[in-house]
Amino acid sequence: MVTPPWRSALLLPLLVLLTACAIRPYQGQQLAQAGFLDRVVVQEIGGITISAAVPDAEETEALTGLDLYAQGIQPVWLRVENNSPTRSRLALWSIDRDYFSPIEVAYMNRRPYSRQGYDAMQRWFYQNALPRFTESGGVSEGLVFTHLRPGTKGFNLTVFANKTAHDFTFFVPLPGFVPDFMEVDFTALYADSELRDLAVGELRPVLENELGCCATDASGELDGAPLNTVLIGTGQAVRRAMLRGEWDEMRSDDPRRIWAQAQNFQGRPPDAVFSKSRRDGDERIQLLLWMSPWQLQGTPVWVGTAAYLTVNHGLGGPAELDAMLRDVKFLRRFAQESVTADLDSAQRFLLQNIWYNGSLALTGNVRGMPPVTVDNPRVGFGGVAYFTDGFRLVAVLSEEPRALDETQFVYDVVLDELLSGENP
Amino acid sequence: MRAGKLLALAAACLALGLGQAARATEVSELFQGKQVPPPNQRIQVQRQGDIVVATAVPSAAETREIFGVDLYKKNVQPVWIQLENRRNVPVLLTPMGVDQAYFTPRETANRGREVSVGARAQDFEKRGHLRLAVRANSIQSGYIFTRVDEGTKSFNVDIVSEDDAQLMTFFVPVPGLKIDHYEKEWDKLFPEDQIRDVSLPELVAELESMPCCVVDAKGKNRGDPLNLVLIGDNLDLYYAFLRAGWDETETIHGASLWKTAASALTGGLYRYSPVSALYVFGRAQDAAFQRARTSIHERNHLRIWMTPLRYEGKPVWIGQISRDIGVRLTWKTITTHKIDPDVDETREFLLEDLAYAQSLKGYGYVAGVGAASYDAPRGNLTGDPYFTDGKRLVLWIAEEPTGLDEIEVMVLTSPAESGQ
C-alpha cells in the first residue's frame, strides 16, 4: 500500500517533535558509593544477616537520576549474607506485596530518554535490583522498589528455604524526617515523685478513678477529646504496632495535626500522633497518645484518643459547621450523621488493627465516662459533637508477632455491660 | 496463623435450613439478637463446632434496592452475615477479618451521600454489625461493609474468643460478570484414553517436552513462554488465586471492551477487563486471572491450560504469566499492554503471592522454555521482547492453608539445573 503524501507531511513534524523530546542520555550512579549506605541497619536470624538502608528523595534522585519519590516509589537497599547451610530465598512480596519490578520503574520513566538512554536506564535498574536467591556462604545485594510511605521506613521481610522461614522487622530512619515523638524528652516529662509503678490489680482503679474522662484545652479547664484508649507497652512496641498496622508517623508541624494539637493531657499536646488514610478516599483515622505517669510492672502506660476525621462530612463546610454547632437541632443531626462523632467505631477499628497485625497480647475494657447518647451528644473537642458508650479500650502490646488466637481477653462485668447494650 | 479448614465446597452444597421446623425450634432457644433479612437466596453456610455462619452478598442492583444508594459506585460492597453462637461464652465477629479496610456504617453513609443526598447513617447502622461481641447462645445477623469484588466475592469470617479462632473462608458468586471457565466442561477436554497418571520422573520428562510457548489462533507464531506448571484440583486452584487477590477475567464482549478502553485512557481501575485468547494444545486458555495493582497499566495476567497429565490424581496445568508495565499503541489491536521483559521476575512473584495466600505446598523447576539472554531476547505475539533462564516453575497447590515454613522445595532435575 502506498502512503498518501499528505500523511508523510503530517508525520514529519510530529516525528521531529517526538525525537526532540526524547534525546536525553541516561546516567545512573554507582550504588556501592552511595552515601545513604552509612545509615545501614543490620539484623541476623538463623545464620542470615540482612542489612537495610533507605535513600531519601534527594539521594534517590542522585542515585537513579529520577525523582522516584514524586511517583510514589521508594527504593530500599538490602544486603543478604547467607551463612546458613542452604540456599535462601528472600520474598520481595513480604516487603511490599505490590512492589514495582525494576524494569517497570525504568519503563514508567522512559519518555524523556533517547533509545540508547532508555536501554542504559533499563540495564541499570535490572543490574542493581536485589536478586531473590543467595547461595549458602554467599552474599547478594541490590534495590527493591516499594511504595512510598511517609516517615520512618518500616517493613517486614521473610527469608525462606526448604520448610523453614525467618521473619525480620526493620525500621530504617530517614534523614530530614523527625517524627513528633522523637522531639519529646520522655525522661523529663515527670518528676520521680509523680511516677507510679502499678501492680496488675492496681491499674483498673487508676484508669477508672484517677484518669480524667477527656483531654483538656491548654488551660486544663475545658474538656476536649475523650481518652478512649489505653495502650501498655514500651515506646518501641507502640511504634512497631503502628507500623505493622500501616499507620503513618507525623512530624510535630504536620498540618494534619491541627485538631490533635489542641488537645492536652497534663498540660501538653500529644506526645505522638499516628494517622491512617484510605487509598481511595479522604477518610482518615487518628490516634493521639500521651505517656502517662503510670507504669504497669515497669512498662509504660499510654493514654489517648482514637477518632475518625473526615474532611467532607457532606454536612457543610467548617464555617457553616462552627455556626451551626451552636444550634441544638443541628448538633443532634451532626451527631447522627458525622463519622467523627462515632468514637466507638474508631476504637473498635484500632483494636482490630492492632490485633490483626499481631501486636495484641491482652485486651479488655474499663469505664472512662458515663454513656453519651446520640440524641443527647456532648460537644467536646474543637466544637465537634460526639457520643460513646463510655468505655476505654485497654490493650497490652506484644513485642513479638502473635497469632489471632494468642490474645488474652479480660472478660469481666464490663463486657457484660457492653453486650447488654446491644439492640436486638 | 490461619488454621481453619477450607469448607466452602461443602458449604455451597448446604442449604440454610432456617425454614426447617426442627431447626427452627432449636434456633428459638437462642437469644435473638439483631435480625436483618438476607439480601437474596444465594446463601452459603459453614459450621465449625458450636459456631454456624451464613453469608450472602447482594449484587449492585440488590444493594441499590436495599439501601437506596448505589454503594458499588463508591467502592462499597455489603456482605450479609448471620452468626449463630451456641457457646456459653461470647465470641467476637471482626469486620477486619472480612476486609482489612472495611467501612464503618457511618463511613458508608458518608460515601453514600456523595451519590445520594438522602443517605442517612441510621439506615446503615440499623442493618450493620456495629459491635464486635456476640452474646453467648445467641443468633444475630447484619451487614459488614467491604470494598467491592465482582465475579466471585472471596472473604474470611473470623470468629474469635479467648484461646480460639474459627477462621472460615467463603466464596460467594455475585451476578454481573460472564466468566469463561464457568462454562467449561472440564471432563470433556480430553478423551478418557488420553488422560494419564504419571510418576515424578515421567512428569518431569513430559513437562520438559511440552511446547515452549503459546501460539496464535492459526498455530503459527510463537508468543509468551509457558513458564508455569500448576498441580491441583480445579477448585483448589481457583480458591488459591482468589485468596491471593486475583480476579477472574471476563470473556471479551462489547460492554466490557468499552470499559477496558475507557480505563486504558484514564488509567482508571477496571479490575475485570477481558484478556485476549492465546493458544496451547489447539485451544484458547481454559481460565485466565488477573491481579490489579494501582491502575490498568499495572496488573499481572495469567492464563492456564489443563494438560492430559495427572499427578497423584491431581490435574497438571501449564500456564503463562506476565506483568503489564504500561500501554503502548499497536496497529493490530490499537492498544496493547507492554509486558515486563524479565518474565522470570513475574514467575517468582506468583510463587510468593500463592505462598502468602497459604496455598503453596511445594515447588521446583524443570526445563522446557529454552533460555533467552538479556542481550538476545525473544519476542512474543505483540512484538514485546522477553528474556528468561528457560525454566518452568512447578507449583503444587495446597488443599489446606500451608505456612511459609511448611513449603517443600522439590529437586526435580539435577540440582545445578533445577535452580536449587
pTM: 0.77
pLDDT value of position B25: 46
Distance from CA of B414 to the nearest CA of A (A): 15
The answer, yes or no, to whether residue B308 has pLDDT greater than 50, is: yes
Mean pLDDT of chain A: 86
CB contact under 8 A, A404 and B158: yes
Q: Burial, A373: exposed, middle or buried (Cβ in 10 Å; 0-12, 13-18, 19+)? A: exposed
The crossing angle, in degrees rounded to 10, of helices A328-337 and B105-113 is 110
pLDDT digits (tens, 9 = 90+) for A341-373: 999 999 999 999 999 888 899 998 899 999 999
Reported as a single tens digit per residue, the pLDDT across B406-416 is 999 999 986 55
pLDDT above 70: residue A22: no
Question: CB B356 to CB A91 under 8 A?
Answer: yes
What was the ipTM of the complex prediction?
0.78
Find the closest chain B residue to A158 by CA distance: B404
For A145-181, write each residue's pLDDT tens digit: 999 987 888 898 999 999 999 989 898 988 878 889 9
Chain A nearest C-alpha distance from B6 (Å) = 18
Interchain contact, A107 vs B404, CB within 8 Å: no
Is A356 in Cβ contact with B94 (below 8 Å)? Answer: yes
* Residue B420 scores a pLDDT above 70: no
CA distance A230 to A245: 17
pLDDT at position B213 is: 94
Average pLDDT for residues A198-223, to the nearest whole number?
A: 91
What is the pLDDT at residue B271? 55
Q: Compare CB distances from A337 to B121, B160, B345 and report the shortest one's residue.
A: B121
Partner-chain contact A107 B165, CB within 8 Å: no
Sequence-separated (6 or more) residues with CB below 8 Å from residue B372 = B378, B386, B387, B388, B390
Establish if B328 touches chain A: CB-CB under 8 angstroms. Answer: no
User: Is A91–B404 a contact, with Cβ atoms under 8 angstroms apart?
Assistant: yes
Q: Which residue has the higher pLDDT, A330 or A197?
A: A197
Partner residue facing A162 (CB), from B164, B167, B408: B408
Closest-approach residue (CA) in chain A for B93: A352
Chain B 60-89, CB below 8 Å of chain A: which residues? 75, 89
Q: Which residue has the higher pLDDT, B304 or A20?
A: B304
Ranges A218-232, B57-71, B142-156: which has the least confidence:
B142-156
Residue B17: predicted pLDDT: 35
Q: Tell me the chain B residues in contact with residue A160 when contact means C-beta distances shorter than 8 Å.
A: 355, 404-405, 407
Task: Indicate yes or no: CB of B130 within 8 angstroms of CB of A165.
Answer: no
Least confident of A265-279, A340-354, B171-185, B366-380: B171-185
- Residue B21 confidence (pLDDT): 36
A276 pLDDT band, cuts 50/70/90, is: very high
- Cell numbers for B116, please give them: 445520594
DSSP B228: E
Min Cα distance B399 → chain A (Å) is 17
At residue A208 the predicted structure's pLDDT band, cuts being 50, 70 and 90, is very high
B383 or B256: whose pLDDT is higher? Answer: B383
Task: Tell if the CB–CB gap between B33 and A93 is shorter than 8 Å.
Answer: no
pLDDT tens digits, one per residue of B87-116: 988 899 999 989 888 999 999 998 998 888
Contact (CB<8Å) A104/B96: no
Give yes or no for residue B263 having a pLDDT over 70: no
Q: Which residues of A touch B162 (CB under 8 A)?
A: 407-409, 411
- Cell numbers 517497570 correspond to A104
Residue A403 has pLDDT above 60, yes or no: yes
CA distances from B408 to A86, A163, A230, B36 (A): 13, 5, 43, 46
**pLDDT at position B368:** 94
Nearest CA in chain B to A339: B106
Q: pLDDT-derived band of residue A383, with 50, 70 and 90 as boundaries?
A: low
Among B95, B96, B92, which residue's Cα sits nearest to residue B160?
B92
Report the pLDDT value the prediction gives residue B15, as an integer from 0 to 100. Answer: 33
Instruction: Check residue B180 and give its pLDDT.
Output: 57
- The model's confidence at residue B238, banded by pLDDT at 50, 70 and 90, is confident
Pick the range with the lowest mean pLDDT from A311-320, A341-350, B24-33, B239-248.
A311-320
pLDDT greater than 60 at residue A79? yes
Strand partners for B9 = none
Percent of chain A residues topping a pLDDT of 90: 56
> Which residue out of A84, A97, A108, A334 would a mutagenesis test of the B interface target, given it has the greatest number of B Cβ atoms within 10 Å?
A97
Which residue did the predictor score with more confidence, A60 or B297?
A60
Q: Which 3-state string (H, E, C) describes A400-415?
A: CCCCHHHCEECCCHHH
B323 touches chain A (CB under 8 A): yes
> Is A115 an interface residue toward B (CB < 8 Å)?
no
Q: What is the 3-state secondary structure (H, E, C) of A149-176?
A: CCCCEEEEEEEEECCEEEEEEEEECCCC
CB contact under 8 Å between A104 and B109, yes or no, is: no
- Say what the pLDDT of residue B253 is: 45
Residue A395's pLDDT is 95
* Cβ within 8 Å, pair B349-A92: yes
% of chain B beyond a pLDDT of 70: 79
Please say if the pLDDT value at position B265 is more than 60.
Answer: no
Higher pLDDT, A282 or B134: B134
CA distances in angstroms from A390 to A217, A369, A370, listed in the order given:
20, 5, 5
pLDDT at B393: 98
Q: Is B387 on the interface with A (CB under 8 A)?
A: no
* Structure confidence at residue B407 (pLDDT): 94
Question: CB of A139 within 8 Å of any CB in chain B?
Answer: no
Per-residue pLDDT tens digits for A281-334: 778 899 999 999 999 999 999 999 999 987 555 444 455 555 666 677 777 888
B183, pLDDT greater than 70:
no
> With pLDDT > 90 as the criterion, what percentage of chain B qualifies?
45
Res. B258: pLDDT tops 60: no
A279, B244, B249, B289, B362 from B271: Cα distances, Å: 16, 14, 8, 10, 29
Residue-level pLDDT at B6? 30
pLDDT at A266 over 50: yes
Comparing A277-286, A374-383, B281-290, the range with the smallest average pLDDT is A374-383
- Which B positions 232-261 lie with beta carbon below 8 A of chain A? none
Q: In chain B, which among 28-47 make CB contacts under 8 A with chain A?
A: 32-35
Q: What is the pLDDT of residues B186-213, one digit of tens each?
A: 777 888 889 999 999 999 999 999 999 9
pLDDT-derived band at B13 (thresholds 50, 70, 90) equals: very low
Residue type, A174: L
Q: Do A419 and B90 touch (CB under 8 A)?
A: yes
- Where residue B115 falls (left for φ over 0; alpha for ψ -120 to 50; beta otherwise) is alpha
Asked if B113 lies within 8 A of A314 by C-beta distance, the reply is: yes
Q: What is the pLDDT of residue B274?
A: 64
The answer to whether the CB atoms of B100 and A418 lie below 8 A apart is: no
Higher pLDDT, A9 or B147: B147
CB B59 within 8 A of CB B119: no
pLDDT of residue B11: 34
Q: Note the pLDDT of residue B292.
A: 78
A330 touches B at CB < 8 Å: no
Band the pLDDT of B19: cuts 50, 70, 90.
Answer: very low
Chain A residues within 8 A of B350 when measuring between CB atoms: none
